[in-house]
Amino acid sequence: MGDRPQRDFGNRTPLEAAYTPHMDRLVKNGWAGLMDPVNPGIPPGSDVAHFSLFGYDPYKYYTGRGGLEAAGAEIRLAPGDVAFRCNFSTIDDNFTVIDRRAGRIKSGTADLAKALTGMQLEKASNVTVDFVQTVEHRGVLVLRGSGLSRHVSDVDPHQVNVKVLESKPLDNSPEATRAANALNEFTRRSYVVLKDHSVNLERIKHGEKPANIILSRGAGTFPQLTPLSTLYGVRTACIAVVALVRGICKIAGMDVIDVEGATGGLDTDFMAKAEAAAKALESYDYVLLHVKATDVAGHDGNFDAKKNAIENIDKMIGKLLDTTDMSRTYLAVTADHTTSVSVKDHSGDPVPLLIAGPDVIASNIGKFCERTVAYGNLGRLRGFNLTPILMNYLGKTSKFGY
Amino acid sequence: MGDRPQRDFGNRTPLEAAYTPHMDRLVKNGWAGLMDPVNPGIPPGSDVAHFSLFGYDPYKYYTGRGGLEAAGAEIRLAPGDVAFRCNFSTIDDNFTVIDRRAGRIKSGTADLAKALTGMQLEKASNVTVDFVQTVEHRGVLVLRGSGLSRHVSDVDPHQVNVKVLESKPLDNSPEATRAANALNEFTRRSYVVLKDHSVNLERIKHGEKPANIILSRGAGTFPQLTPLSTLYGVRTACIAVVALVRGICKIAGMDVIDVEGATGGLDTDFMAKAEAAAKALESYDYVLLHVKATDVAGHDGNFDAKKNAIENIDKMIGKLLDTTDMSRTYLAVTADHTTSVSVKDHSGDPVPLLIAGPDVIASNIGKFCERTVAYGNLGRLRGFNLTPILMNYLGKTSKFGY
CB-based burial label for B399 (10 Å; 0-12, 13-18, 19+)? exposed
Alpha carbons within 13 A on the beta-carbon side of B128: 7
Q: Does A402 touch chain B (CB under 8 A)?
A: yes
- Look at residue B63 and tell me whether its pLDDT is greater than 80: yes
SS3 B1: coil
**What span, in angstroms and rounded, lies between the C-alpha atoms of B61 and B133?**
26
Taking CB atoms and an 8 Å cutoff, what residues of chain A touch B34?
Answer: 379
- At residue B281, the pLDDT reads 97
| Min distance A326 CA to chain B CA atoms (Å) | 15
Lowest mean pLDDT among A279-283, B241-245, B352-356: B241-245
- At residue A242, the pLDDT reads 87
Q: Does B382 touch chain A (CB under 8 A)?
A: no
Nearest CB among B5, B348, B374 relative to A388 is that of B348
- At residue A123, the pLDDT reads 87
- At residue B120, the pLDDT reads 86
Taking CB atoms and an 8 Å cutoff, what residues of chain A touch B348?
Answer: 388-389, 391-392, 397
Query: Hey, are the CB atoms on A381 and B380 less than 8 Å from each other?
Result: yes
pLDDT digits (tens, 9 = 90+) for B85-129: 999 999 999 999 999 999 999 899 999 999 999 998 988 888 999
Q: Does B234 touch chain A (CB under 8 A)?
A: no
**What span, in angstroms and rounded, lies between the C-alpha atoms of B366 and A284?**
42
**What span, in angstroms and rounded, lies between the C-alpha atoms of B43 and A394?**
12
Q: How far is CA B86 from CA A366, B218, B262, in A?
A: 54, 9, 26
- Look at residue B329 and tell me whether its pLDDT is greater than 80: yes
Nearest CB among B5, B43, B380 relative to A361 is that of B5
Chain A residue with CA closest to B3: the answer is: A359
| Min distance A61 CA to chain B CA atoms (Å) | 17
**What span, in angstroms and rounded, lies between the C-alpha atoms of A115 and B202?**
83
Query: Hey, are the CB atoms on B43 and A399 less than 8 Å from each other?
Result: yes
- Look at residue B345 and tell me whether its pLDDT is greater than 90: yes
Nearest to A53 by CA among A399, A396, A382, A398: A382
B288-301 mean pLDDT: 96
CB-based burial label for B79 (10 Å; 0-12, 13-18, 19+)? exposed
Nearest CB among B45, B347, B375 relative to A377 is that of B375
Task: Return the sign of the alpha-carbon dihedral for residues B103, B300, A327, A367.
Answer: negative
Q: Does A323 touch chain B (CB under 8 A)?
A: no
Query: Hey, are the CB atoms on A401 and B58 less than 8 Å from each other?
Result: yes
Query: Hey, are the CB atoms on A378 and B375 less than 8 Å from each other?
Result: no
Q: Does A327 touch chain B (CB under 8 A)?
A: no
Nearest to A71 by CA among A222, A241, A183: A222
- At residue B264, the pLDDT reads 86
B4-27 mean pLDDT: 97
- At residue A264, the pLDDT reads 86
Q: Does A385 touch chain B (CB under 8 A)?
A: yes
Q: Mean pLDDT, chain B, as a whole number? A: 95
Rg (CA), chain A: 23
**What span, in angstroms and rounded, lies between the C-alpha atoms of A300 and A296?**
6
pLDDT digits (tens, 9 = 90+) for B184-239: 999 999 999 999 999 999 999 999 999 999 999 999 999 989 999 999 999 999 99
Confidence bin at B25 (pLDDT 50/70/90): very high
| Phi, psi for residue B310 in degrees, rounded to 5 | -65, -40
Nearest to B341 by CA among B312, B307, B300: B300
| Min distance B3 CA to chain A CA atoms (Å) | 10
Percentage with pLDDT > 70 across chain B:
100
- At residue B157, the pLDDT reads 96
| Min distance A40 CA to chain B CA atoms (Å) | 15
Instruction: Write out the H or E segment, with its range, that includes residue A255.
Output: strand A255-256
Query: Hey, are the CB atoms on B39 and A388 less than 8 Å from each other?
Result: yes
Q: Does B43 touch chain A (CB under 8 A)?
A: yes
Taking CB atoms and an 8 Å cutoff, what residues of chain A touch B62?
Answer: 400-401
Chain A residue with CA closest to B62: the answer is: A401
Q: Does B58 touch chain A (CB under 8 A)?
A: yes
Q: What value of ipTM does the predicted structure carry?
A: 0.89
Query: Number of A:B CB contacts under 8 A?
Result: 82
Q: Does B380 touch chain A (CB under 8 A)?
A: yes
B136 or B2, which is more confident = B2
Q: How far is CA B117 from CA A111, A146, B135, B219, B220, in A?
A: 73, 50, 17, 18, 19
Instruction: Write out the H or E segment, with its range, that includes residue B99.
Output: strand B97-99
**What span, in angstroms and rounded, lies between the C-alpha atoms of A14 and A370?**
10
Residue A341 contacts residue A306 (beta carbons within 8 Å): yes
Task: Return the sign of the alpha-carbon dihedral for residues B232, B237, B242, B243.
Answer: positive
Nearest CB among A375, A389, A400 relative to B40 is that of A389
Residues making up chain A, counted from first to last: 402
**What span, in angstroms and rounded, lies between the C-alpha atoms of A170 and A153?**
7
Write the CB contacts of B245 (distance below 8 Å, at least 6 apart in sequence). B46, B50, B238, B290, B292
Chain B residue with CA closest to A364: the answer is: B371
- Look at residue B33 and tell me whether its pLDDT is greater than 90: yes
Write the CB contacts of A172 (distance below 8 Å, at least 6 apart in sequence). none
Instruction: Write out the H or E segment, with its range, that includes residue A88.
Output: strand A82-91
Chain B residue with CA closest to A390: the answer is: B41
One-letter amino acid at B9 equals F
Nearest to A331 by CA among A348, A314, A312: A314
Q: Does B367 touch chain A (CB under 8 A)?
A: no
Write the CB contacts of A341 (distance below 8 Å, at least 6 apart in sequence). A3, A6, A14, A297, A298, A300, A301, A302, A303, A306
B58-72 mean pLDDT: 92
pTM comes to 0.90
Mean pLDDT, contiguous 10-residue spans, chain A (402 residues): 97 98 98 98 96 97 92 88 96 96 93 94 90 92 92 97 97 95 97 96 96 97 93 97 89 95 93 97 98 96 98 98 96 98 97 97 97 97 98 95 86
CB-based burial label for A386 (10 Å; 0-12, 13-18, 19+)? buried
Write the CB contacts of B14 (distance below 8 Å, at least 6 apart in sequence). B1, B3, B6, B294, B297, B303, B306, B307, B310, B341
